[in-house]
């Protein structure tokens, strides 16, 4: 008698997967983060500092795809797949993917918003091989 009740309680305690957001929900999700244009007058900076600033921008352009790769091993392949989808839903998914640097909503407890990705964001990203454990 106790076993069936225990099993019923365990099944009831398993949270249901939330449905993936549609284009409207994704648009609302990405609207939570407002783009901001940063404008700075660098005309008074000495030339060496302006050159250093240009190098920092160059470095950021290199680091951005590296961060994407380090966040999850499937990000690069997923990016190319999303970029090919020209539907409104596909474009919203791509926009959300860029904002979050991956398929998990960083504001909403890393809930996935793209189908076919792991339900949970890998805790170590792509820093360690899949399945690696502490010694």
pLDDT of residue 29: 97
Q: Packing angle between helix 75-84 and helix 47-71, nearest 10 degrees?
A: 90
Output the 3-class SS for 33-55: CCCCCCCCCCCCCCHHHHHHHHH
pLDDT, tens digit, for every residue of 92-116? Answer: 999 999 999 999 999 999 999 999 9
* Block residue for tokens 């365990």: 10
Position 31 scores a pLDDT of 96
pLDDT above 50 (res 42): yes
Closest CA to 103 of 80, 64, 72, 131: 72
Tokens of 66: 């590296």
> 14: pLDDT confidence band, cut at 50, 70 and 90?
very low
């Amino acid at each position: 008698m106790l076993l069936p009740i225990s099993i019923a309680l365990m099944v009831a305690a398993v949270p249901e997967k939330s449905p993936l957001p549609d284009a409207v929900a994704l648009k609302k999700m990405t609207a939570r983060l407002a783009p901001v244009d940063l404008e700075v007058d660098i005309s008074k900076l000495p030339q060496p500092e302006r050159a250093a600033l240009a190098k920092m921008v160059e470095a950021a352009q290199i680091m951005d795809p590296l961060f994407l790769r380090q966040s999850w091993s499937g990000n690069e392949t997923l990016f190319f797949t999303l970029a090919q989808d020209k539907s409104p839903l596909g474009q919203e998914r791509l926009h959300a993917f860029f904002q979050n640097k991956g398929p998990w909503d960083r504001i909403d407890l890393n809930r996935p918003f793209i189908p076919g990705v792991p339900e949970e964001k890998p805790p170590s990203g792509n820093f360690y091989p899949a399945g690696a454990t502490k010694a």
